[in-house]
Amino acid sequence: MLALLGAAAAAQAPATARLHEPERVTVLAHGAGEPMADRWALARSDAECRNMLASWRVAIEPPKVDYSASTLVLVSHGRGRGGEPAVSLWSWGDDASTQLVRLAGDRAAPVLQGRWAVLLLPASFQPWRGNIRFETDVADGKVGEVWRSVCTPCQLRWLGKFSSARAPDAVARCFQDQVSWQAFWHLDADPAKPPPECDFATHVLVVTPIRRQSGTGLLRGPFRTALRVVEPAPDEPPHDALVFAVPRRTGELVVETTPADDATRHRIVARFVVADPSSAVVLRRFECDVEPREQTVCERAATQMQWQALRRKVGGAVAALTNDWCDFSLDTVVVVVAAAAAVRPDFGIAVGEEEGVDVLTLTQELASDAEARSFAAVLKVPRRKPQLAVVLRRAGPPEAESEATLQVFPGH
């Protein structure tokens, strides 16, 4: 069985994978019980082991383990063939501590619900770092061909559901910067409402069409981040979309769906390459009315002290922003306060590049029927090597249009 598993897994593994001796991972106990979510937990002491077994309702005696040399891991892996799991262990890439553990039941055994296994891993694997990924077979699937991941969950924020202004795409979309997200929102969602806020330095946004919200989950492994949603019914057209803020991690982001009647199976519907946050020009934004100003102000804060002084200078709702709105290790804040004029609220924001300089253009719409107002934009921007030019444009009747370069900030 183990040889079959290794051969089947090798057919899927990338060229960088290296097979290791399976006895480095030992199955101490296994069984089945009430269905549980795909997950895993670890214990590094007798007390943690007892608490783990009790909270998961696994009725076995805590095994005797030398925790100075080993780590105990309890894996819940849902519906599939019973019997003692066969184990194959893979090391991926150049980091030997990054492991993939594959478990496969006995294909001659009956299908069981709520499978679990207690595994003994060398402490040198350091699974508490989240560098271990587990994959298990599913019922009625050939070993090594159909797998599902059991990974450590990490933070996922559901930002809401919206009805699209037009039929949403049948696939998910991923947004990695403020400008593209705002453009999508005003085109596909409700232009009268502000888009849900996101700090793109720490998260990306995934928009996926739905027919109903049956459940979501974020699975995170060392090689990819996967967002899993319940697959909608095939006979209903999509009409709504969900917005998720997914923790940003440079690498691959996968969107998976699983049928509502069989959560053990999944399929990949979209893959995205998530770039480093410095690839964006605008990572976060905040806008508000402030006291009318006679002259336009454009300044940048590169330290906490500068940020505090700038907030006090602008006042209003800007002064109420927190110190940690930007951490300044990798990012800075640009603040623009436009001189008072009869304009619509909100700025349009566009980014571009001219002769190696990043160009950030803020556009206000002139309106003769509007009151004179000063509007402020607070923008979180990454530290980038190119210079950053900030341009204020006022659009309206040709005789009233204007455009001015406010500042050209040096690169970092």
Q: Are 177 and 281 in contact (CB under 8 A)?
A: yes
State the pLDDT confidence band at 123, using cuts at 50, 70 and 90. Answer: confident
**pLDDT at res. 352:** 95
In this prediction, residues 149-154 reach a mean pLDDT of 66
State the pLDDT confidence band at 63, using cuts at 50, 70 and 90. Answer: very high
Query: Which of 56-70, 209-223, 261-275, 317-331 shows the lowest per-residue confidence on average (mean pLDDT)?
Result: 209-223
**pLDDT at res. 10:** 36
**pLDDT at res. 307:** 97
Q: Which range, 2-11, 103-112, 372-381, has the best average confidence (pLDDT)?
A: 372-381
DSSP 222: S
The residue type at 316 = G
In this prediction, residues 366-380 reach a mean pLDDT of 91
Give whole-number Cα distances, 208 to 118, 167, 260, 274, 326, in Å. 36, 12, 16, 17, 29
- Exposed, middle or buried: residue 75 (CB in 10 Å: 0-12, 13-18, 19+)? buried
Comparing 8 with 309, the larger pLDDT belongs to: 309
Most distant pair of Cα atoms in the chain: their distance: 84
Query: Which of 92-96, 117-121, 146-150, 384-388 shows the lowest per-residue confidence on average (mean pLDDT)?
Result: 92-96
Q: Is the pLDDT of residue 407 over 50?
A: yes
* pTM reported for the whole predicted model: 0.68
Query: Which of 35-39, 56-60, 205-209, 215-219 shows the lowest per-residue confidence on average (mean pLDDT)?
Result: 215-219
**Which of 76, 75, 74 lies closest to 35, judged by CA?**
76
Q: Is the pLDDT of residue 299 over 90?
A: yes
Give CA–CA dist 64/50, Å, rounded: 11
**Strand positions, DSSP E, 156-239:** 157-163, 173-175, 203-210, 216-220, 224-231
Q: What is the percent of the chain with per-residue pLDDT over 90, rounded to a whole number?
A: 44
**pLDDT at res. 91:** 63
**pLDDT at res. 2:** 29
In this prediction, residues 323-352 reach a mean pLDDT of 94
And the tokens for 130? 């989240």
**Which of 326, 307, 331 lies closest to 382, judged by CA?**
331
Q: Is the pLDDT of residue 34 over 70?
A: yes
In this prediction, residues 178-189 reach a mean pLDDT of 88
Q: What is the per-residue DSSP string for 41-95?
A: EEESSHHHHHHHHHHTT--SPPPP--TTTEEEEEEE--SEE-SSPEEEEEE-TT-
**pLDDT at res. 100:** 79
In sequence order, the 6+-apart residues with CB closer than 8 A to the CB of 363 are 347, 348, 349, 350, 393, 394, 395
Q: Which range, 109-123, 281-295, 389-403, has the best average confidence (pLDDT)?
A: 281-295
Query: Which of 72-76, 132-136, 164-168, 337-341 shows the lowest per-residue confidence on average (mean pLDDT)?
Result: 164-168
**pLDDT at res. 106:** 85
**pLDDT at res. 257:** 78
Q: What is the percent of the chain with per-residue pLDDT over 70, rounded to a whole number?
A: 80
State the Cα torsion 301-302-308-311 to the nearest 10°. Answer: 20
**Which of 370, 180, 408, 388 lies closest to 292, judged by CA?**
370
State the pLDDT confidence band at 140, using cuts at 50, 70 and 90. Answer: low
State the pLDDT confidence band at 165, using cuts at 50, 70 and 90. Answer: low
